[in-house]
């Protein structure tokens, strides 16, 4: 069964993963959901923490989707910026690489 990605902000790489390796992508998504369900963090905190990790790893392609997810939780623009910059002392200014994509996604209607 092929995963159906309906969100326009899902990266082309992740869409290809779902289309070209449906069994692996379904297994991956089940694991992701189980890990998410086991977290003691609320959805907003978890989403902001995830943005911090994406920024530290410079995974810009995932940022727009995850910014829109946390925006649905009621986060502010300033909270998104702070989440991205929280890794600045440990990861260096490389975290700022994802800032434009995050703000563009946040500001989009």
pLDDT digits (tens, 9 = 90+) for 4-58: 555 677 888 888 898 899 999 999 999 999 998 999 999 999 999 999 999 999 9
Q: How confident is the model at residue 98 (pLDDT cuts 50, 70, 90)?
A: very high
pLDDT at residue 3 in the model: 45
pTM, rounded to two decimals: 0.83
Residue 46 buriedness (CB in 10 A; 0-12 / 13-18 / 19+):
middle
pLDDT digits (tens, 9 = 90+) for 66-89: 999 999 999 999 999 999 999 999
Domain boundaries, the chain: 9-38, 41-107
pLDDT at residue 15 in the model: 87
Q: Rounded to the nearest 5°, which phi and psi values hold at 81?
A: -60, -45
Q: How confident is the model at residue 2 (pLDDT cuts 50, 70, 90)?
A: very low
The matching CATH number, chosen from 3.40.50.720, 2.40.240.10, 3.40.50.180, 1.20.1290.10, for 41-107 is: 1.20.1290.10
Q: Provide the terminal-to-terminal Cα distance of the chain, rounded to the nearest Å.
A: 32
Question: Is the pLDDT score of 1 beyond 50?
Answer: no
């Amino acid at each position: 069964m092929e995963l159906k990605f309906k969100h326009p902000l899902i990266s082309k790489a992740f869409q290809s993963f779902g289309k070209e390796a449906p069994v692996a992508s379904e297994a991956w998504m089940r694991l992701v959901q189980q890990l998410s369900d086991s977290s003691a963090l609320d959805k907003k905190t978890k989403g902001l923490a995830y943005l911090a990790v994406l920024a530290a790893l410079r995974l810009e392609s995932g940022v727009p989707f995850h910014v829109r997810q946390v925006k649905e939780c009621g986060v502010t623009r300033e909270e998104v910026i702070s989440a991205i910059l929280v890794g600045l002392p440990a990861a260096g200014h490389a975290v700022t690489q994802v800032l434009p994509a995050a703000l563009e996604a946040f500001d989009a209607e």
